[in-house]
Amino acid sequence: MAHARMSTLSASPHRLRRAEFELVPAVHTPFDAQGSLALDAVAPQAAFLAAHGIQTVFVAGTTGEGLSLRESERAELAAAWVEAAAAHDQRVWVHVGSNNVAAAAALAEQAQAVGAHGVAALPPHFIKPGRVEDLVAVCAEIAAGAPELPFFYYDIPALSGVQLATPAWMEQAMACIPNLGGVKYTNPDLAGLQECLRLAGEDRIVYYGNDESLLAALALGAHGAVGSTYNFAAPIAIQVVQASVAGEIERARLWQFRIVQLVRAIQSHGYLAINKSILGMLGLSAFQDAPVRLPLRSPSSAACSQLQQELEQLGFFAWLAEATA
Query: Of these residues, 184, 185, 230, 276, which one is catalytic?
Result: 184
Query: Of these residues, 128, 153, 154, 185, which one is catalytic?
Result: 154
Mean predicted confidence (pLDDT) in 188-206: 96
What CATH homologous superfamily does 21-234 map to?
A: Aldolase class I (3.20.20.70)
- The CA distance from 40 to 32, in Å, is 10
pTM of the model: 0.93
* pLDDT value of residue 289: 84
- 154 is a catalytic site residue: yes
Q: Give the count of alpha carbons within 13 A of 290, CB side only.
A: 27
- In the predicted model, is pLDDT for residue 35 greater than 70? yes
Amino acid letter, residue 312: E
Model confidence band, residue 278 (pLDDT cutoffs 50, 70, 90)? very high
Q: What ranges do the domains of the chain cover?
A: 21-234
Q: What is the mean pLDDT of the chain?
A: 94
- 184 is a catalytic site residue: yes
Quick: pLDDT tens for 231-260.
Answer: 999 999 999 999 999 999 999 999 999 999
* pLDDT value of residue 19: 61
| Cβ(295)–Cβ(270) below 8 Å | no
